[in-house]
A and B are shown apart, each in its own frame.
Chain A
Amino acid sequence: MMSSNQSDSAGNREEKLPRREWLLFPIISLSTVLLVASSAELGARWLYPVSRVDFDRCFVRDDPSGDAPARPHGICAERTVESNFPAEYRFNARGDRAGTELEPKQPGVYRIVMIGSSMAMGLYVPRAMTFAALLPPALSSRTGHRVELYNAATGGKFRGGPFPARRSVSQFSEVFSAQPDVILWVITPKDFENAAAESEESPTPAAVGHASAADTARERPKNAWERLWSLVVSGNLGQELAGRIKETRTALVLNHFLIAHESQDQYVSSYLKNEDDAGFLRSKPGEKWARNMDAFKRYATQFVNQAKMAGVPLVAVLIPNRAEAAMISRDAWPAGYDPYKLGEVLRSMIEPQGGVYVDLLPAFRRIPNPERHYFPVDGHLDGEGHAMIARMLEEELANGRIPELRPIPEPRSSLAQGG
């Protein structure tokens, strides 16, 4: 449309640019960029609204721990760019998203107490659609037992604190007060990172406080110009700008659509380029992931031992992340990677201590494009994803790994009637 052939026909003499053009061109360029960027951002915000209703009623934002534990009886709602509808978070008296208050267990009831992080809590998904809600009726119907599930999972860093964390061990006894017949620990690759993140913090709060104060005094720029200058000097300006751009709604919507429309192959190959996130998928995890695994193992050992001492079986399951699920479903991955590796690592942490590891990963081989059941950018399971995990858990928990959940044989008379 705009041919540059004209360039030479017009450039037969080295004409001078009028002075006003030197001013006009940057103004036009800048105002176009501002206009287009702001229109795109406004359009994205209008078409893809994000809402948080009454979050202060749900979470303690100024908790000294730095996390945001759920408030007992808190009710709030949240809708993200990627979710189609708002998810209500309704917490009971214990601050759990259990759908009910914790009540004494009725005779004949088999109670699963689920622990874990945001994936298990059902972040961004209405409770009725979470696997925590879908699993008990499915298991009850399949096994003939009266199965109930008490969801004691926390909700990630800003939804009740990461899990596992140091205080998770000291507070593990709270799990037993829920009278579990079995503890179901739902684990994600992110939990390994969370475990290590807390382990790497300085052990004494005083030392942390001291260091931060010194750092603050030395490094924090006083105003916007100083901050800008410090970014230029440190060579982090590009990174900072890219980070800011990524936080815009336009970038989020664009990213969502681009990732959502990538094929499995494209998604996996682009995900694996990010060595930092994808390190756990390596056949031989790097230094960082080896540290993550060590940190996680310490928690796992303590949880399994505490459960063993309390005489409650602990069942651990790994829910793969989006890329891991895609790799397993494709049943092909580049040399040097192994999407089953983390599962095997987890098994080696749980089973020697006396816990049970239920392997959901092979089930992903049978599902075409399972990554489509995750929010593309955020990475949590969507409603379909929760239903998918509920079906897998139902299958695996009822297959005899947990003797108490073996299906009750149907009475002879009914068999005869049926036959």
Chain B
Amino acid sequence: MDSASIEFILFGLTAAAISLFSRSYRWRAIVTFAASVVFLCMLSQSAVAIAPLAGFLLLGYLGLLMIERGWEKHSVFSILAVILAYAWLKKYTFLPEAFFLRVPYFILGLSYIFFRVLHLLIEAGAGNEKRHIGIGSYLLYTLNFTTLVSGPIQRYEEFAGDQFALEPIPLGPRVIGLQLERIVRGFFKVNVLALLLNMVHENAFLELTQPLPQDQKMGFAFLLTVSYPFFLYANFSGYIDIIMGMSRLMRVRLPENFDRPFSSPSFLEFWNRWHITLSSWLKTYVYNPLLMLLMRRIPLISLEVYLGVFCYFVTFFLIGIWHGRTSEFAVYGVLLGGGAAINKLWQSTLTATLGRKGYRALAANAFYVAFSRGLTFSWFALSLFLFWADWTQVGIICRNPAPAYWAVTWIAVWISATVVLAAWEHLRVLLLSVRSEEGPLLTDRYVRVAYASVLVLTAAMVMIVMNEPAPAIVYKAF
């Protein structure tokens, strides 16, 4: 059962329908837990293979119990143990290979479980949250089938607030309709848009390996660069749409993970809109503590900006290396960190030069925003080469077309992104300005029904014609 397939959706909808038999939080928790166990069993297909994951969860829970029993001062050891266990299970290359398990085991979703467990340990260790988390609640939070595979990374209190509420959050026909529409939209993104964009991307890469003239290769390099960010967005945000809809139908609200990221006018803003739960987790648990620590150690106001820049670099570098244990992801982290650091430095320099008012005026200028948006997209697209390609493929890309042509291609990507994304923003504003009495016509419920029907029809058509599954959810692998 793939995580964005019709089978998965039917599974989720069935679980949601069963959970609606009673408003009791116990019943809803039992249904969610049972569905999560079934889901896990279907994915792992072996009790032995799941043992390391169970061990990891147990380690996290023991750490939590220790802190609850008054061992707060030693919480750092629990945190380190969980980090080490994670690196060990993920086989990070800085650990000796001889230590790794030689048998195949199940770690799907481990990265997201890791963030949830760390969040619990850090919060408990900091003494912010005095609470007891039972083993059932802990397992429900960490193994919830809706968020197991690719997040989003939800805070425990938000999860528990909905999941264990005595009076569950309302679920009227309007909400059900909106969630069903969202599931349809997500399904369409994953199974149609991502499928087609993946075709474009793979085709462009293969064409680069063919003996073609440089100008033709430049065209394929352009397609290669622009198709992947959109593919990744359709693939990941589509999946998130599906599970958010499902979860809401089970009366649990998940945090948004995307907010029109390609509309972002800066790289820093982009990460407030792309994989939001990951970047806010790292902001809370890495950026803020690190910045505070450095500012305490180096109390020089003149260096404050540079400390911030450094902390951004570290945070985004961590985002990069979280994605994988190979050197490609380390370079990906450097590119993300570099982008964020330069962006921060640029903002600070402009503010110092133009003054706050001057900078605000510049940042509001439509042309400046459009070019910044284009630059953000092109930098992200360039960074993503290290995300999807291994070094051999990167070598092929660097040679095809020649570096001078690549420079032209990148400028073309920047300019095209500037123009196209600005045009899209204007179109969006224009479309939303068409209003009925109840609000924008496009968000009218009848329009939504028609829109969802078209998506279903198109998805059915493409799936029947193509007769092949869409690419797997990329973030499932992390």
B-binding residues in A (CB < 8 A): 1-2, 4-8, 10-17, 21, 24-25, 28-30, 32-33, 36-37, 242, 245-246, 250-251, 254-255, 258, 261-266, 270, 273-274, 368
Contacts and interface: CB of A to CB of B under 8 A. Distances in A.
B175 A32 contact: no
Contacts of B172: 11, 13-17
Interface stretch (B44-52, B201-209, B291-299, B319-327): B201-209
Nearest to B168: A14
A4 B206 contact: no
Given A6-B178, A15-B172, A258 B465 contact: yes
Contacts of A263: 199, 202-203, 206-207
Interface string B234-273: 0000000100110010000100100000000000000000
Given A245-B464, A251-B461, A263-B202, A14 B450 contact: no
Q: Which 6 A-B pairs have the closest CB atoms?
A: A11-B175, A17-B173, A263-B203, A7-B178, A14-B172, A29-B453
B419 interface: no
B157 interface: no
Given A37-B457, A251-B465, A254-B461, A29 B174 contact: no
Q: How many B residues touch the partner, as a band?
A: 35 or more
15 contacts: A1-B428, A1-B431, A2-B448, A2-B451, A7-B179, A25-B449, A28-B446, A32-B450, A245-B460, A246-B464, A258-B465, A261-B199, A263-B207, A264-B206, A265-B206
Given A29-B450, A32-B454, 6 more contacts: A4-B241, A7-B182, A8-B169, A14-B170, A15-B173, A263-B206
B171 A2 contact: no
B160 interface: no
B171 A14 contact: yes
Contacts of B14: none
Q: Which of A1, A10, A30 gathers the greatest number of chain B CB atoms within 10 Å?
A: A1
Contacts of B29: none
Contact of B461 (A16, A21, A245, A261): A245
Interface string B356-383: 0000000000000000000000000000
Contact of B449 (A10, A29, A255, A266): A29
Contacts of A6: 178, 443
Nearest to A265: B206
Contacts of A21: 173, 445
A296 B17 CA distance: 55
B442 interface: yes
B466 interface: yes
B328 interface: no
Nearest to B186: A4
B464 A368 contact: no
Interface in B208-228: 210-211
Contacts of B203: 261-263, 266
A265 B174 contact: no
Nearest to A264: B206
A96 B123 CA distance: 85
Given A12-B170, A246-B465, A254-B465, A4 B245 contact: yes
Interface in B265-302: none
Interface string B449-478: 111111011001110111110000000000
B181 A2 contact: yes
Contacts of B461: 245, 250-251, 254
